[in-house]
Amino acid sequence: MAEIYFNALDYNVVGDGKTNNTTAIRRITEMIEKRGGGTLYFPPGEYVTGTIELADNMTLYLEGGAVILGSADPADYPMITKEQLPGYNREGHSGLIKAFRKSHVTVTGRGVIDGRGQNWWGDPKNESRPRAIQPILCDNVLIEGITIINSAMWTVHPMCCTNVTIDKITIKNPWDSPNTDGINPESCSNVHISNCTIDVGDDCLTLKSGTEDDELQKQYPCENIVVTNCTMLNGHGGVVLGSEMSGGVKNVTISNCVFNGTDRGIRIKTRRKRGGSIEDININNIMMNNVLVPFVINGYYQCGGVSPDDMSLFSLEKLPLRGDTPIIRNITISNIRAKNVTASAGYIYAIPEQPVTGISVLNYSVEMLASDEEPKDKPIMAFHVRKTRGEGLFCANIKNSILRDISIKVARGNGLELLNAENVIVDNFFVEGAEQTTKLTKCSRVKITE
C-alpha cells in the first residue's frame, strides 16, 4: 500500500512566517491518524505553529528551507498534567513536536525547527517550558538530519521510550539560554545517538531516569545506550549521567566523540536519598579541549526534592546505608586526551558509605593550564568545597579500582590525591609540574608501580 502523503501547503497551511498554523496542522495530523499513518511534508517556507502531535506510523518531513517557528502563545502548547500522565510530577507545556504512546514516528529532513525560546527564557525558573521534540512512552522513534535552534527548554527529550535512533542532527541554543540541554533520553532503552553536533546553554547530552519523586520515570531504567561520533560544544557538560537517576542508568557506551568548551567532559552526579544506580558505563576515545575538568563523579550534587535544612545529605561523614542510597559502579574511562584544562585533571568525590567501585581510568592524558580563575561551578557544595585550579587527579571514596597509563601535566598541587581509597592499583602514572606526585590519606591496599 502506497504511503499517504500530505503537502502542508495543500491543506491551508501558510509558510509566511506570520500566520499561526496550529489549527490547520492539527487537522492534517488528525487525518493521518485516521488513515493509520503517513507523511506530513513541509516545503520551503516559515511555518508558525504550536504543538504538532505525531500519530502512529507518521513521518514529519522538513525540506531544506523549511522552518518550523514555535508559536509565542503558551495556549498553543497544551499542558501535560498528572491526571493525563499518572506519576509524572513535572507538569508542563507539550513539546513543539510531541508524540504520546505512539509507534514508528519519524522527524526527518534538511529543515529547521526554531523553538523561538526567547519568548520563554525571561523566566528561567519556569520549567514548564515546551521541549522542541518530546516523544513520551513511544516505540521506534527516529529523529534524523534536521537542525534545531533556540529550544525553549530541553531540546530533544524522549521519555520512557524504546528503540530510539537520533542521527545526524544539529542543535544550537545560545550559551546563556536556561536549561536548554541538547539531547536528554530519560528512562529510555535501546537508544542510538550518532553523528550529531550539539552546542547549547546547558548539558549537551544527559542520561536520566527520574528523581525519587518521579513515580513514572523511575519504573524504567535508562539502559542500553550508545553515543558515538558526536561533537559537543560549550554547555555545562559533554555527556552527563544524572542527577535524575532514581530508575537507574546502565549499559552505556560513549565513544569517538569531540568535546570543546563543555565545562566538564563526562559528568556523573547524584546525592543521598536519590536512589538508583549508575553502572556498567564504558567511555572510550574522547578528545577534549578547553574544559574545566575531563570527568567528574560527584556524590554531593545539590539538587531539588529535599529540605535545604537537611544538611546530612552533604555530610562528609560515613552515614548508615539506606534503601535510597545511590550506587555508582563499574565505570571505565579510557583513551582520553584532554588539553587546555583549567580546574582539575579529574575529580571523584563519592559518599563514604557507598564508595565508587570498579572504576578504571586507562590511557588518560591531561594537560592543565595555570589559572587563577574560580571554576564556574563547584563539584560539591561550597561549604566543603575543595578548590582545584590547575591541579591533578583527585579521588575520594573509591574502591576496587585501577588507574593505569596516566599522564598529567599540572600547574600546581598534587599529581594524584587519594582519600579513603581501598584496593586501588596505580600503574604507570606520570606527572609533570606537581609539587607532590602522590598524596594518600586514610587509604588501604593501594599499590603504586612505575
Q: Which residues are catalytic?
A: 202, 236
CA pair distance 28, 11, nearest whole angstrom: 7
Whether the bond between 243 and the residue before it is cis, its omega within 30 degrees of 0, is yes
CA dihedral defined by 20, 26, 29, 35, rounded to 10 degrees?
Answer: -140
The string of DSSP letters for 172-200 reads E--TT-TT--SB--BS-EEEEEES-EEEE
Strand partners, 51: none
How far apart CA 332 and CA 52 sit, in angstroms, is 41
Cβ pair 133, 166 in contact under 8 A: no
The grid coordinates of residue 283 equal: 567511555
Please give the DSSP secondary-structure letter assigned to residue 31: H
Helix (H) or strand (E) holding 23: helix 22-34
Residue 253 CA to residue 224 CA, distance in Å, equals 8
End-to-end CA, the chain: 68
CA 438 to chain centre: 33
**C-alpha cell of 391?**
591541579
Residue 8: CB atoms within 10 A of its CB come to 23
Q: Provide the 10 A C-beta neighbour count for residue 254.
A: 24
Dig out the grid coordinates for 359 from the structure: 572504576
Report d(CA 324, CA 13) in Å as an integer: 51
CA distances from residue 443 to 380, 384, 425 in whole angstroms, order as listed? 21, 20, 12
Whose cell is 525571561? That residue is 122
The number of C-alpha atoms within 13 Å of 6 and in the hemisphere containing its C-beta is 22
Closest CA to 415 of 324, 329, 346, 336: 346
